[in-house]
């Protein structure tokens, strides 16, 4: 009998390789990036959230990182439509999400989130709760508008993350991602612009990392040794796109080393454009540097599959800078291990299946109107 199966494309060959993250085997290298959708009234993910995630798992996403979901601390969030990762009804909703994603052949981790000083007092779920952070500052140069956390506050938040991680394992998730990026609570500690503390949690890069490292260690102690812990971080902040945690590889290493030592298995280096070099003198992006400096597995992210150029480049017509070849070259060179896709996957649930099957001409361009519905 003649084998009529066409040879796998380069994209399929590189992206289809399974990978083990601690005790978890993920079927391929495509990750769904965490994206807040606010379709969970009362903080409970329902039927529509289940099908939103499971259809993407069925269509070839190897690992789903859920939208940010609040840990059980009164100041963690500021919306009643963002899902919570505490409470009986909320966790029951999440358990069904995990079950459906597994039935579709995928893997899934919740992104555990505390927004810190970004919170506006008066908003749900706990209207009276103050905004809290390292120094009560929402951004660099701001006047204090919230509460500088006491040791008790710090201990409570550490415990809330650990509880959420233990719950994630108990209700069937495959790991957890800790949201240490984009100017939210953990990042407010990491960033000198918002961390003005003079105690052990402020000062140099290592001191600013202490709070996140304590959370990682508490999470590590609360789950099985083989349960993967992903830590997401970024240079950019939603308060300030130009902000940077680290100006040099040495500064980056000072931040990442204690986190790795505390038990992080995988870093998720969040950038807005994956092809941009992070520091002078090397083509490595933030993910590439993170892997080089820590030896840990790393997820890269940022504008994969977003614009017409990218789609054209798949077809050999567009800018080589954004073509998938650049991404594939970096993956093949082991600069990083996996790639997360945000908006392109929000737009097109079939994105991964199309890319893996060489159906690039069927990819849909991103349109912000897709944010209005959960489909
Ligand atoms: C609607 C939307 C919501 C997002 N929510 C989150 C979030 O909850 N947590 C997070 O870490 N990043 C969040 N992000 C950032 C994405 O995870 C991702 O890093 C970013 O969109 C860049 O990837 P992309 O260019 O593939 O979209 C969000 C992005 C979008 C577009």
pLDDT digit string, tens, across residues 345-357: 999 999 999 999 9
User: Please, which residues have CB within 8 angstroms of residue 372's CB and are 6 or more apart in sequence?
Assistant: none
Q: What is the pLDDT of residue 3?
A: 64
**pLDDT band at residue 304 under the 50/70/90 scheme:** very high
- pLDDT digits 0-9 by tens, 279-291: 999 999 999 999 9
Q: What is the pLDDT of residue 318?
A: 40
**Span from the CA of 285 to the centroid of ligand 1 (angstroms):** 18
**Span from the CA of 290 to the centroid of ligand 1 (angstroms):** 20
Q: Say whether 184 is catalytic.
A: yes
Q: For ligand 1, atom 5, which residue shows the shortest CA distance?
A: 35
- Tell me how far the alpha carbon of residue 117 is from its chain's centroid: 19
User: Please, which residues have CB within 8 angstroms of residue 240's CB and are 6 or more apart in sequence?
Assistant: 139, 140, 183, 193
Task: Please count the other Cβ atoms lying within 10 Å of the Cβ belonging to residue 74.
Answer: 15
**Whole-prediction pTM:** 0.96
Which residues approach ligand 1 with their CB closer than 6 A? 33-36, 67-68, 111, 179, 181-182, 232, 270, 301-304, 306, 341-344, 371
Question: CA 253, CA 290: separation in Å to the nearest integer?
Answer: 8
| Residues 125-147, mean pLDDT to the nearest whole number | 96
Cα separation values, 20 from 219, 265, 324, 337, Å = 20, 10, 23, 10
Which residue among 342, 365, 370 has the greatest number of ligand 1 atoms within 8 angstroms of its CB, and so is best to mutate?
342
- Of 53, 184, 274, 366, the catalytic one is 184
Whether the per-residue pLDDT at 159 is higher than 90: the answer is yes
What is the share, in percent, of the chain residues with pLDDT greater than 90?
88
- pLDDT digits 0-9 by tens, 234-257: 999 999 999 999 999 999 999 999
| Residues 137-149, mean pLDDT to the nearest whole number | 96
| Residues 205-226, mean pLDDT to the nearest whole number | 98
Residue showing tokens 């940022």: 302
Contact 177, 231 (CB under 8 A): yes
- pLDDT digits 0-9 by tens, 85-100: 999 999 999 999 999 9
DSSP symbol at 160 = H
- Let me know the angle formed at the C-alpha of 184 by 215 and 143, rounded to the nearest 5 degrees: 120
Whether the per-residue pLDDT at 266 is higher than 80: the answer is yes
DSSP string, 239-256: TBTT--S-SSHHHHHHHH
Q: For ligand 1, atom 26, which residue shows the shortest CA distance?
A: 342
| Residues 266-283, mean pLDDT to the nearest whole number | 96
Which residue among 30, 34, 338 has the greatest number of ligand 1 atoms within 8 angstroms of its CB, and so is best to mutate?
34
DSSP string, 70-93: E-SSTTS-S-SSSPBS-SHHHHHH
**pLDDT band at residue 358 under the 50/70/90 scheme:** confident
**pLDDT band at residue 1 under the 50/70/90 scheme:** low
Q: What is the pLDDT of residue 314?
A: 44
Strand partners of residue 269:
233
Q: What is the pLDDT of residue 280?
A: 96
Average pLDDT of the chain to the nearest whole number: 94
Q: What is the pLDDT of residue 121?
A: 87
| Residues 43-63, mean pLDDT to the nearest whole number | 98
């Amino acid at each position: 009998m003649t084998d009529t199966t066409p040879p796998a494309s380069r994209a399929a060959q590189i992206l289809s390789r399974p990978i083990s993250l601690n005790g978890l085997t993920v079927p391929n290298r495509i990750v769904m990036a965490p994206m807040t959708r606010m379709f969970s009234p009362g903080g409970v993910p329902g039927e529509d959230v289940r099908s939103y995630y499971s259809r993407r798992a069925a269509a070839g996403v190897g690992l789903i990182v859920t939208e940010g979901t609040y840990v059980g601390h009164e100041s963690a969030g500021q919306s009643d439509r963002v899902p919570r990762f505490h409470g009986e009804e909320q966790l029951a909703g999440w358990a069904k999400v995990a079950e459906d994603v597994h039935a579709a052949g995928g893997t899934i981790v919740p992104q555990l989130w505390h927004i810190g000083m970004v919170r506006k007092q008066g908003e749900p779920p706990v209207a009276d709760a103050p905004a809290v952070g390292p120094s009560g500052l929402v951004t660099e140069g701001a006047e204090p508008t919230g509460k500088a956390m006491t040791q008790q506050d710090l201990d409570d938040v550490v415990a809330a993350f650990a509880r959420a991680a233990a719950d994630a394992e108990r209700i069937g998730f495959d790991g957890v991602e800790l949201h240490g990026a984009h100017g939210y609570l953990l990042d407010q500690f990491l960033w000198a612009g918002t961390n003005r503390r003079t105690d052990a949690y402020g000062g140099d890069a290592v001191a600013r990392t202490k709070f996140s490292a304590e959370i990682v260690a508490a999470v590590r102690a609360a789950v099985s040794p083989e349960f993967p812990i992903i830590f997401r971080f970024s240079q950019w902040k939603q308060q300030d796109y130009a902000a940077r945690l680290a100006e040099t590889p040495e500064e980056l290493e000072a931040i990442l080393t204690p986190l790795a030592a505390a038990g992080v298995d995988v870093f998720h280096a969040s950038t807005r454009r994956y092809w941009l070099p992070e520091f002078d003198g090397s083509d490595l992006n933030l993910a590439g540097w993170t892997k080089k400096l820590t030896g840990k597995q790393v997820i890269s992210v940022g504008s994969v599959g977003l614009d017409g150029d990218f789609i054209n480049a798949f077809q050999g017509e567009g800018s080589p800078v954004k073509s998938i070849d650049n991404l594939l070259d970096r993956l093949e060179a082991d600069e990083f291990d996996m790639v997360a896709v945000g908006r392109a996957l929000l737009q097109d649930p079939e994105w991964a299946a199309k890319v893996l099957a060489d159906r690039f001409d069927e990819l849909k361009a991103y349109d912000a109107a897709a944010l209005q519905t959960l489909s």
